[in-house]
């Protein structure tokens, strides 16, 4: 499907190709139906156009034609449903309960209008003292699964990683889990795919998939820097500490 690649960015997650396969099946079917319908429309326009002296004919219709154009789409829609459901169940449902054991846990919190990503730090565990948070920066290791714990602080947002074929709503009051595995190092886009307010358009971040080994180095450096800031910040000036933190992360 190389020739269709202008429509979708290259898929860089393990299940990206399967998600695309649903898209292409639907595109082929609807594409063929579109061409048939347009050809019929134009043929009828020309064939039954106005001509001097020709009288209009009333026709009640054809039962046979109606049965045919109802039964064929019925099976086409069933086919699409079963095809996409198979992939969907494999990718979304089965995979959700079969998260790889070595998956990197990340906490992503959406709010108007930014993404805050909490990294586990060197101990590899979330909600411990060595965690640190970056704003609008999603750093990921190559060829390792990532398990995102998704939350929203205010309204419904949607965690959208087009290149990874990942899209998951973040709903206030709920914790959503989503996992995926990057297959190519590089820079990608993180966007919000749910109209969430006036700043929705600028609610985006960068995704960096590090080469093997690079992520651990980055995490150790960032973790050490965050630890140093925490240790030197005066405990009473939490407000000031936060804004300074925010600037650093911008």
What burial class does residue 217 get, using C-beta atoms within 10 Å of its C-beta: 0-12 exposed, 13-18 middle, 19+ buried? exposed
Residues in the chain: 250
Smaller CB separation from Cu ion, 142 or 192: 192
30 phi and psi angles, rounded to 5 deg: -65, -30
152 with 171: CB under 8 angstroms? yes
Q: Taking CB under 5 A as the rule, which mask of x and - marks residues 190-209 in contact with Cu ion?
A: --x---x------x------
**Closer to Cu ion by Cβ: residue 15 or 113:** 113
Question: Shortest Cβ distance from residue 149 to Cu ion (Å)?
Answer: 17
Using CB under 5 A as the binding rule, the residues of this chain from 11 to 40 that contact Cu ion are none
> How many of the chain's residues bind Cu ion (CB under 5 A)?
4
For residue 144, the Cα-to-chain-centroid distance in whole angstroms is 18
Residue 161 engages Cu ion in binding (rule: CB under 5 A): no
Q: How far is the CB of 195 from Cu ion (least distance, A)?
A: 8
What's the min distance (Å) between Cβ of 128 and Cu ion? 28
CA distance 151 to 171: 6
For Cu ion, the binding residues in 173-192 under the rule CB under 5 A are: 192
Cβ nearer to Cu ion, comparing 126 with 156: 156
CB of 202 to Cu ion, least distance (A): 10
d(CA 48, CA 51): 9
Element at 86 (helix H, strand E): helix 63-88
Q: How far is the CB of 203 from Cu ion (least distance, A)?
A: 4
Nearer to Cu ion, 12 or 192 (CB): 192
Is the CB of residue 12 less than 8 Å from the CB of residue 181? no
Which one, 169 or 214, has the nearer CB to Cu ion? 169
Tell me the C-alpha to C-alpha distance, in Å, between residue 66 and each of 30, 60, 71, 72: 20, 12, 9, 10
User: Does residue 157 interact with Cu ion by CB under 5 A?
Assistant: yes
Binding residues for Cu ion, per CB under 5 A?
157, 192, 196, 203
């Amino acid at each position: 499907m190389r020739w269709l690649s202008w429509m979708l960015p290259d898929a860089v997650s393990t299940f990206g190709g399967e998600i695309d396969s649903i898209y292409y099946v639907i595109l082929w079917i609807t594409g063929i139906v579109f061409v048939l319908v347009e050809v019929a429309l134009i043929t009828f326009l020309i064939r039954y156009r106005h001509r001097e002296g020709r009288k209009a004919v009333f026709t009640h219709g054809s039962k046979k034609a109606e049965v045919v154009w109802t039964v064929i789409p019925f099976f086409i829609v069933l086919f699409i449903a079963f095809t996409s459901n198979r992939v969907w169940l494999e990718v979304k449902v089965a995979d959700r309960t079969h998260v790889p054991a070595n998956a990197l846990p990340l906490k992503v919190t959406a709010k108007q209008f930014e993404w805050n990503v909490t990294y586990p730090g060197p101990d590899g565990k979330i909600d411990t003292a060595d965690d640190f948070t970056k704003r609008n920066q999603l750093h990921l290791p190559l060829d390792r699964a990532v398990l995102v714990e998704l939350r929203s602080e205010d309204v419904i947002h949607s965690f959208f990683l087009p290149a990874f074929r990942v899209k998951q709503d973040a709903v206030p009051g709920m914790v959503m889990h989503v996992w995926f595995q990057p297959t190519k190092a590089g820079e990608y886009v993180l966007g919000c795919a749910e109209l969430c307010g006036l700043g929705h358009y600028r609610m985006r971040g960068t995704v960096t998939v590090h080469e093997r080994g690079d992520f651990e180095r980055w995490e150790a450096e960032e973790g050490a820097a965050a630890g140093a800031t925490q240790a030197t910040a005066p405990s009473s000036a939490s407000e000031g500490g936060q804004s300074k933190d925010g600037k650093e992360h911008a």
